[in-house]
Structure 1
Amino acid sequence: MSFRQKIFLILGASQLLLVLILAITFIQMIDRVKNEPQDKRALDRSLEFRKELKHKEEVIRLLLKEIERNQKTLSILENGLHNRGILQANLDYIKGIMSQYGLSIFEIHDRTGHVFFRFHRPADYGDDKSGQKIVQEALQGRIASTLEIGHSGLGLRVTAPLRGGGLMMVGQVVDDKFIHTITGSEDIHLAIFEKGKLISFSDPTISKYLGDRKPEDLSGASRFTFEGKHFYLTQVPYENQGLSNLKLDFLLMIDETELYESTRNLWLYCGLIALAVFGGILFASYRFSRDIINAVKALNFAMKNPAEDESTIVDLHRSDELGEMAEVFIHMKKDLLDHQMFLEKKVEEKTKELQETLTDLRALKEKQDGDYYLTSLLLRPLATLKYESNSTKIRGILRQKKTFVFRKKESDIGGDLVSISEIVLYGKKYLVIMNSDAMGKSIQGAGGALVMGTVFKAIVSRTQISRTNQKKTPEKWLKDCYTELQNVFVTFDGTMLVSAMICLLDEETGALYSINAEHPNMVLYRDRKASFVDPDFPLRKLGFSENTSEPLVRVDKLEAGDLIFIGSDGRDDIIIQDPNSAEPVMNEDENLFLRFVELSGGNLEDLERLISAAGEISDDLSLLSISYKEVEAISSPIKTVSEEYSRLLQIGIKEYKKGNTEKTKEAFAQALAIDDSDPALYKQLARISINAKEYDMGAKYSEAYLSKIPFDNEYIFYISYCLRKTKDYWKSLEFSEKLRSREPENIRNLKHLVALYRLTGNRMKFKSTITVLKAILAATDSETNNSSEPALV
């Protein structure tokens, strides 16, 4: 829309709105001017009706006084009260009196209130009017009057007593002539209603208009056209002021044809004047807008064509704002020309400064990326993402948040680290699996990962080459590894913290030993369902000075087909779009990762895609999937058992039921010589030997049993107990510590451990273990005393 069209639109809309407001105001004023005099005329007719009735009442009362003074008329009436023939004979005389006074009703009643004779209808008499109030007043000797509806219609009736005991009733019917007299003009037509019923009207015009219309259809003032004329219709209630109990309404039709013509002419003149004013304003607006638009177009053309001479385009002699704008434009054009002369030089100077700054930034960026690249090279040999054997398959993903390009080589650095190695403990191979997440982003996190990877690699390498370090239980090795890492990171005084999950996997038995230093929970995927393996965090991150010196080692058994997932915080730190919020929010649902594992079906690549598709990953991401004995990899031939082996088992079981432990031991020992794969035989032989107090054999069989079933904590205690009885204190102490790593509050083992420290002369450990034992016993006694249920023995 052009500027001119906008001006026309604003002016036109404002003028139309003004005309509309004036028209509405004018209509209301005209209606008020027309209605007020018409309503006044209607009210005057109502007052005139009351005055006319009052005049008629006074005339009738004068007539009654005249009758009382006229002996002839009084004699006729009193004598006729006993002889209807007298009244009939003087009918013309009485009618003459009625005509003289304009009466239409003249009746004689006897002393009981019955009609004795009607001069206006001689043949009609005998009806009882004793219940009427004016009749009762006359019978009691008083003159009374009222306006009521009778056989003759609406009329004014007056009663007076007669000396013979009767009464006379005279009156005037409110007929068309009477009403016409009240209206007093041919322009006003009057109809009278009583409770919605038409009683009388002034002329045929209003009678014809009313027709079959109902009174409720005529309520309120209105204007209409009837028989080519314009009328104003209104209703006025009649105020009887005690003359009657009737509720009368006056309906008036007032002819206002001349007023209508005058009003129409007035509207025509006003419309012509408004049109002329509106056209004049639009014409003036057009001239005004054309002047402004031409000046604006000239200024716009001069701005688009700075090479043209502005003095021939712009009117510099204008004294309004457009003239001021032209002067400002000329000054601005001169400034631009002056500035343009030096612009190229300034651009060259600024470009040179920016180029130098950019060169410095590139140099700094290259140095930084060089540091990043060197750090990434140092981290590479510390990370292992793949391992595969006959029973175990491990795959890893490592995606650091900070990415960079150094000499056309893309790389990344961060605080996450994944490591997979092999070690041997007591002649058995274990897989060492480590996933850590150092505090901080980019170079800070990479520094923590570098320290973590270096120290952990040194611990693993030392174990691989040192036979002394290989003579440790898995629990002992994990505790020593944790202690060494904690001692390194605690020296940074809290400025470098690392969360870590360190595991040992026995591929033969499926035993998974783990220590969790505030790392996200391991997830077990079994039978297409995902669940957390270690819901509690017994340890804080590596580097906290308040960490415990006795970390808890968790032992879990993996079944064939199980999948274990280990990952850093990046698996949960996803910025997602919340449907209830306009801004993205950080994911706080830890079960989201479980749902992703189930949706991916245990596939590591699909799991990574699901995490990336859920939102923006805000942290480094590292994931490990450990697959143990996949279904297709464990299809081994069915093992057959010899008859001799089965026979020896049956003999051993029968002898055990008889209580003959020696023969049971002999049969089971012979069976083991044939096939030593059943751990139940070692378990039974260990129990029998311990009960027989053959502690050396009990320790031997218990150790063989635990090599196949390393999850049985009870037999760890049994082997330590047997070794203590055989005075092999150091080995007994090793197994007792192994059990303490799994069950740190096992009171029986703690008491056993106190005895071993006393026997080995380790006073420091002896005192510290007694302190721990006393604290546990005190807490146990407190819980027992506060419990409302009996303790279970």
Structure 2
Amino acid sequence: MKFLLSVLNNLKIRTKMIIFVSGIVLLCVLPLSIIVLYRNQAIVLEKTFEVCQNLANNIANIAAEELLINETFDATRTSLARLHESNISGLTDSYVINVDGKYVAELNEEKIGSDVPEVDFEKFSSLKELTLSEIVEGGNTLLRFSYPIFIQYQGQKLWVGMAIFEFDKEKVYEPVFAIRRSIISVASVLFVLGIFIAILVAVNFARPIDTLSEGVKIIGEGDLNFQIAVRGKDEVGMLALQFNRMTSQIRDFTQNLESMVAQRTEELNRTLEKVQSLKVAQDADYYLTSVLLEPLLLNSNLSKRVRTEFFIEQKKKFSFRRWNSQLGGDICITDTIWLDGREYTVFVNGDAMGKSMQGAGGALVLGVVFNSAISRYKRSRSQKVFPETWLKERFLDLQNVFLSFDGCMYISVCMGLVDTQSGLLYYINAEHPWTVLYRDSEASFLETNLSLRKLGMPDQEDKFYVRLFQMKPMDVVIMGSDGRDDVMVSNDGDAETVNEDETLFLKHVSDAKGELYRIKEAVESSGTLIDDFSILRISFLEKENLKLISDGIPFEIREAISEGQKLLDLKKYPEAAILADSFLPNLEQPAPELLKIAGFALFRSGDLDNGRDRLQEYLKIVPSDNEGVLELSSCLFASGRLSEAADYGERLYLRDKSYFYNVLNLAKIYLEMNVLGRARKMSEEAAALGPEMEGLSEVREAILRAIAETGFSEEEEVEEFSGHKFVNVDDVLAKADYLYHKKDFVAALESYEKANRLSEGRNPWTLFRIANCHSLLNQLDEAEKFYRRSIEVAPKNHHAYNNLGSVYYRKGNYSSAKEEWKKALEIKPDFRTASLNLDKLESWETSRITADV
């Protein structure tokens, strides 16, 4: 009803607008008439200018000669007299002056011979063409047209005088003024007439609207029996008719409303009962899941040197009977375990993908698997397992479980171990938010690159490696599932958007001084959380409980460390060992630098047992030293303790897969242990890291010989597994590599092609070796094809580009050869072979050009 009254009021307003617009339209006639007036005035002035142009030309033609001789001006004066007699409208005066500034012809003969006013003469003498100016003379406004008179003399224009014509402005514009008066009169009549017509139309149109408006008001007050008495077939009449019909329908509906409400209420109650029963059942499922999940969320860390705190707030809140609870996919677990007699704090912060039940299911799976592993290792302190190995086992356990869900369940995690004695942090980040370090009142990210995807995604096992970080006293490490990109923020009153500033979380940590619940409050105050939220806080040591190893080392010990390092650099190993051992027994506290020097020196001087003991003692204090781990592995290998050497090598391999010397060392160890498959894999990785490094080729050839000497059959080696047969591709490749090194390229090519079929043509090494065989057998077209395929699979293989360039060179395609060698140098600028090839080709091209010249 209010809406309809508003519509009618709008109609009234529109009626008034009609009157107003009509007035505006009529008022527009006045400026239009003024525009027409000025346009006509311009036309009149233009025509007057043309007349003066013609008059001036005529007078100039007559007066030019007389002005030149300056004797008699009868012809000029006669022309002016006739001009005056022609009664040109508005012409009041006309005269001619000479170069001396005297009137020589004038309608008023009294002025003839007199001087022109000096001011006027200066203006006249400066004019170059017919010019119009307005002057006031005797209270009248005159239009003065001044025309300079020139003659041609000896190729030059000479000014000899001036012809002036003066018109009365009022008389010139009299026709225009008459038109203006007519326009204004007609416009005024039209304006009054238009206003009258508009008012008449508005009154007739508004009356039925007023009637309709009053009827609507009566009906709106509750009188549904009232009928609006507006007749007619126009829009207002049709509106009144429809409104009367609507009133009748409302009256009928009102009478039946109570029964309809009762019916709909009953239907709604039945629906609500069903929904309530479903909700109760769902909440029971939620509650059961939350009860199962709760005992898995344990902060069981008992270390006095490493403190752990966490909180979890799931997005889904629910009530079941008298219990209030929450449910989601976030999980935190901390505990203390012993590995090889050494205490570690173990932790995990996970965020399962999916909402409510799905996310909680992922958290349950992780909690059960992870806690069961902790329980196994808590039973014994004597298990000789490195923390890197323990982390890889946990990763594989979880990865295999989540893989079994076939893409239906993924989870991001940050998990690891803290050596409670040294503060060394071992951890992995599987697509979890970056780990934050709070140190010296500043927050920063520990990592900014992604190595592992979420657990449950395939083909991640080869990408696994363990990150290391040495914590210092009072360091705090923060791991959070969300609070960064799962926060809706508003900037300057704009609509809320998901936060895209990853450094905002660093600010929260800094502002909160690394305190757990202050971080939580800062995140929540910055915006609206849209997902589960959990934070795990790990702090290392209380300041008063720590005595640094480096504190209080005497000056003579520091001098011994410096001198011992110099002796190692000079390869004076016995002297270095004697120097270090002379100080070690008398130290009140450990000196790890001396232990390292002693271990290196003893091992390299041949005292393997003492060298091993010193290195093991050193790594207990400084377990993060990769160089020390490699040295201990080499020492154990030299001692014949191959299994332990392999363990330490694999420990370092889990930290850094690109450490060439460790990978090569592992290849040697596994060759000695006759674990040829692992030995060959390590040698291939070493070749990829440093194909031209010293000692690599000898190790690879020894591995190939060992494989060949094991009695490898010419037939394909087959393994039985679960009733299916699989060809051992690794052994086929090993045979091919052995034949290749024996320079039996035909047989090697057959084996490589067999391996290529087994790997479905996706192994870049196999494709590269097939191309090499074709090249060595001078089958250049086939070599080119396989080099191209190898580059497609491995576009960074600089050797393939170099060899492809050599094929083009042998085929006489020098420009393509140069291009491929340049590509190889772009990938590896210090690639000497490609550089020499390119220099040789460019030198040859230069010499050929010189010879041609």
Q: TM-score with structure 1 length normalisation? A: 0.69
Say whether residues 1:278 and 2:278 are aligned partners: no
Identity score, percent: 27
The more displaced of 774-783 and 290-299 is: 774-783
Contact kept? 1:574, 1:586, Cα under 8 Å = yes
Say whether residues 1:214 and 2:120 are aligned partners: yes
| Cα 1:681–1:147 shift into 2, 3 Å | closer
Q: What are the within-5 Å matches in structure 2 for residues 19-168 of structure 1?
A: 19-25=30-36, 28=39, 146-148=65-67, 154-156=73-75
Taking the aligned partners of 1:233 and 1:658, their CA distance within structure 2 comes to 118
Contact kept? 1:405, 1:411, Cα under 8 Å = yes
Aligned residue number for residue 75 of structure 1: none
Taking the aligned partners of 1:599 and 1:365, their CA distance within structure 2 comes to 42
- CA offsets 1:219-266 (integer angstroms, 9 cap, x no match): 8778998657x7774648699999x99665341435967995x98788
Say whether residues 1:788 and 2:788 are aligned partners: no
SS at match of 1:13: helix
Per-residue deviation, 1:518: 3.5
Aligned residue number for residue 105 of structure 2: 200
Aligned residue number for residue 772 of structure 1: 682
Select which of 12, 16, 25 maps to 2:23: 12
| Cα 1:659–1:236 shift into 2, 3 Å | closer
Q: What are the within-5 Å matches in structure 2 for residues 440-479 of structure 1?
A: 440-466=354-380, 470-479=383-392
Per-residue deviation, 1:428: 2.0
Per-residue deviation, 1:319: 5.3
Q: What are the within-5 Å matches in structure 2 for residues 668-747 of structure 1?
A: 670-671=585-586, 675=588, 677-680=590-593, 682-683=595-596, 686-687=599-600, 690=603, 693-720=606-633, 730-744=643-657, 746=659
Per-residue deviation, 1:447: 1.1
Select which of 602, 610, 620 maps to 2:514: 602
| Cα 1:194–1:343 shift into 2, 3 Å | farther
SS at match of 1:174: helix
Taking the aligned partners of 1:783 and 1:593, their CA distance within structure 2 comes to 45
What amino acid does structure 2 have at the position aligned with 1:441?
Answer: K
What amino acid does structure 2 have at the position aligned with 1:201?
Answer: E
- CA offsets 1:120-160 (integer angstroms, 9 cap, x no match): xxxxxxxxxxxxxxxxxxxxxxxxx953366666334xxxx
Contact kept? 1:42, 1:236, Cα under 8 Å = no
Q: TM-score with structure 2 length normalisation? A: 0.65
Aligned residue number for residue 489 of structure 1: 402
| Cα 1:334–1:744 shift into 2, 3 Å | closer
Contact kept? 1:49, 1:182, Cα under 8 Å = no
- CA offsets 1:714-740 (integer angstroms, 9 cap, x no match): 443454555566665554544343333
What amino acid does structure 2 have at the position aligned with 1:155?
Answer: D
The more displaced of 319-328 and 433-442 is: 319-328
SS at match of 1:492: coil
Contact kept? 2:437, 2:445, Cα under 8 Å = yes
The more displaced of 616-625 and 480-489 is: 616-625
Unpaired runs of 5+ residues, structure 2, are 1-11, 153-157, 695-798, 800-827, 834-853
What amino acid does structure 2 have at the position aligned with 1:214?
Answer: D
Taking the aligned partners of 2:387 and 2:441, their CA distance within structure 1 comes to 30
| Cα 1:249–1:498 shift into 2, 3 Å | same
The more displaced of 325-334 and 12-21 is: 325-334
SS at match of 1:602: coil
Per-residue deviation, 1:426: 2.0
Aligned residues: 668
What amino acid does structure 2 have at the position aligned with 1:200?
Answer: A
Aligned residue number for residue 260 of structure 2: 346
Contact kept? 1:575, 1:617, Cα under 8 Å = yes
Q: What are the within-5 Å matches in structure 2 for residues 39-438 of structure 1?
A: 146-148=65-67, 154-156=73-75, 174=77, 178=81, 182=85, 188-194=91-97, 198-203=103-108, 214=120, 233=143, 235=145, 248-254=162-168, 271-272=184-185, 274-306=187-219, 314-316=229-231, 318=232, 320-384=234-298, 389-407=303-321, 410-438=324-352
Taking the aligned partners of 1:224 and 1:688, their CA distance within structure 2 comes to 116
| Cα 1:400–1:271 shift into 2, 3 Å | same
Per-residue deviation, 1:9: 0.8
Aligned residue number for residue 754 of structure 2: none
- CA offsets 1:396-426 (integer angstroms, 9 cap, x no match): 2433344445457554333222111011122
Taking the aligned partners of 2:670 and 2:53, their CA distance within structure 1 comes to 126
| Cα 1:271–1:414 shift into 2, 3 Å | same
What amino acid does structure 1 have at the position aligned with 2:390?
Answer: W
| Cα 1:697–1:21 shift into 2, 3 Å | closer
- CA offsets 1:471-514 (integer angstroms, 9 cap, x no match): 32222222222222222222112322222222111111112222
Select which of 522, 535, 543 maps to 1:631: 543
Taking the aligned partners of 1:758 and 1:185, their CA distance within structure 2 comes to 127
Contact kept? 1:473, 1:738, Cα under 8 Å = yes
What amino acid does structure 1 have at the position aligned with 2:93?
Answer: L
Taking the aligned partners of 2:53 and 2:462, their CA distance within structure 1 comes to 112
What amino acid does structure 2 have at the position aligned with 1:520?
Answer: P
Contact kept? 1:489, 1:543, Cα under 8 Å = yes
SS at match of 2:404: helix
What amino acid does structure 2 have at the position aligned with 1:555?
Answer: L
Contact kept? 1:740, 1:746, Cα under 8 Å = yes
Contact kept? 2:399, 2:456, Cα under 8 Å = yes
- CA offsets 1:722-768 (integer angstroms, 9 cap, x no match): 556666555454434333333445555556556665776xx6x5422
Taking the aligned partners of 1:725 and 1:177, their CA distance within structure 2 comes to 134
Aligned residue number for residue 109 of structure 1: none
Unpaired runs of 5+ residues, structure 1, are 55-144, 157-172
What amino acid does structure 2 have at the position aligned with 1:375?
Answer: T
Taking the aligned partners of 2:88 and 2:40, their CA distance within structure 1 comes to 27
What amino acid does structure 1 have at the position aligned with 2:205?
Answer: I
Taking the aligned partners of 1:738 and 1:386, their CA distance within structure 2 comes to 27
Aligned residue number for residue 519 of structure 1: 432
Contact kept? 2:98, 2:104, Cα under 8 Å = no
| Cα 1:341–1:598 shift into 2, 3 Å | same
Contact kept? 1:391, 1:630, Cα under 8 Å = yes
Per-residue deviation, 1:464: 1.0
| Cα 1:703–1:669 shift into 2, 3 Å | same
